[in-house]
């Protein structure tokens, strides 16, 4: 069977858009529309101009809270996919909150625990026709499938961040109201100044609340990392680079990963031992040393 092409494998595939970016972009355009309306009121010098700074503060708070909630729902909602199964050797593990400085600080936006699996050759025919992007090992361009493991700490961080953002937004609006009252809106210049101060106070307070709440939710949760499912004979064990595993679960295209085929989430993991080689791995390793794996003879088709 032919080796799937690394990178973009389906011309015209949506390789750059993600649901998260789309959602945030929508919020930004909404904010821009509201800002334009507020500016129109101020510029016109109508009697309603005095309320423009207050409206700006409230809208800013709502948008920040909405963005945090959007991230939380997007990260923790299990998308509709297809039950499937693949086996191979673990190339890399990326625990939640460690992918970047952004993931560490903004815990509510962190991806779940991720395992990159160099899959056996037998599964190649299921990857390329159904994936807009194919991840590959640096060894010999052997295809890899990202496998995400549901991480309660990520979702708890999202809940904490949502609550924190809401509390911070309310506090920011109250501070903004005091500042607006002190500045006034007698002229359009003062009005614009009041709006800017209000926006800074509310956005800063809401973001600070989201970061703090996310860290509290994260700290209050256990985070053991990806592990095998275990059974009556073999207890569950933490997964490590080089482990031979069979992963079974919900398989979908991930907009966050250029529409690559991923497990989101892995529901069962069978551990079969460990490779004597070091990463980066080739498909030839599990092909030779992982027989048989724990997948059914027929792998369910994707989509």
The answer to whether the predicted template modeling score (pTM) of the entire model surpasses 0.85 is no
% the chain with pLDDT above 70: 83
Q: What is the pLDDT of residue 21?
A: 43
66: tokens are: 């909405």
Q: How many other CB atoms sit within 10 Å of the CB of residue 273?
A: 11
Residue 7, pLDDT score: 86
80: CB partners within 8 A, 6+ apart: 252
Regions of the chain with pLDDT less than 70: 1, 8-49, 297-303
Pure H helices in 184-302: 188-219, 284-289
Find, among 291, 7, 224, the residue nearest to 132 by Cα.
7
Residue 101: predicted pLDDT: 80
The predicted structure's pLDDT at residue 19? 45
3-state secondary structure of 237: coil
**What's the confidence (pLDDT) of residue 120?**
95
Q: Quote the pLDDT of residue 284.
A: 95
Instruction: Decide yes or no: CATH 2.40.50 for domain 81-151+222-289.
Output: yes
Measuring CA to CA, how many Å separate 66 from each of 54, 62, 215? Answer: 18, 6, 18
Q: Where are the alpha helices (DSSP H) in 94-187?
A: 101-105, 152-183
Q: Where in the chain are the domains?
A: 19-75+156-219, 81-151+222-289
The per-residue pLDDT for 15 is: 33
Residue among 173, 156, 161 nearest 62 (CA): 173
Q: What is the pLDDT of residue 112?
A: 94
Joined tokens for residue 123: 């599964």
Contact 108, 274 (CB under 8 A): no
| Helix (H) or strand (E) segment spanning residue 27 | helix 19-44
């Amino acid at each position: 069977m032919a080796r799937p092409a690394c990178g973009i494998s389906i011309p015209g595939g949506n390789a750059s858009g993600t649901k998260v970016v789309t959602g945030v972009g929508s919020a930004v355009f909404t904010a821009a529309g509201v800002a334009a309306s507020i500016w129109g009121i101020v510029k016109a010098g109508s009697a309603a101009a005095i309320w423009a700074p207050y409206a700006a503060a409230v809208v800013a708070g709502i948008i920040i809270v909405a963005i945090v909630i959007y991230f939380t729902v997007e990260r923790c909602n299990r998308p509709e996919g297809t039950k499937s199964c693949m086996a191979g050797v673990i190339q890399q593990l990326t625990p939640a909150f460690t992918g970047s400085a952004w993931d560490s600080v903004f815990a509510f936006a962190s991806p779940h625990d991720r395992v990159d699996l160099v899959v056996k050759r037998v599964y190649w025919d299921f990857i390329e026709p159904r994936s807009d992007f194919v991840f590959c090992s640096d060894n010999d361009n052997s295809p890899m499938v990202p496998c995400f493991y549901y991480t309660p700490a990520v979702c708890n961080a999202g809940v904490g961040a949502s609550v924190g953002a809401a509390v911070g937004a309310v506090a920011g609006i109250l501070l903004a109201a005091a500042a607006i009252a002190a500045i006034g809106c007698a002229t359009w210049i003062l009005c614009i100044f009041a709006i800017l101060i209000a926006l800074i106070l509310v956005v800063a307070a809401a973001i600070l609340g989201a970061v703090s709440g996310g860290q509290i939710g994260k700290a209050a949760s256990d985070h053991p990392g990806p592990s095998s499912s275990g059974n009556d004979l073999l207890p569950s064990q933490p997964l490590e680079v080089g482990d031979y595993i069979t992963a079974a679960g919900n398989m979908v295209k991930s907009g966050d990963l250029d529409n690559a085929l991923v497990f989101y989430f892995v529901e069962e993991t069978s551990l079969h031992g460990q490779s004597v080689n070091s990463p980066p791995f080739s498909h030839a390793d599990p092909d030779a040393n992982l027989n048989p794996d724990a997948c059914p003879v027929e792998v369910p088709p994707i989509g």
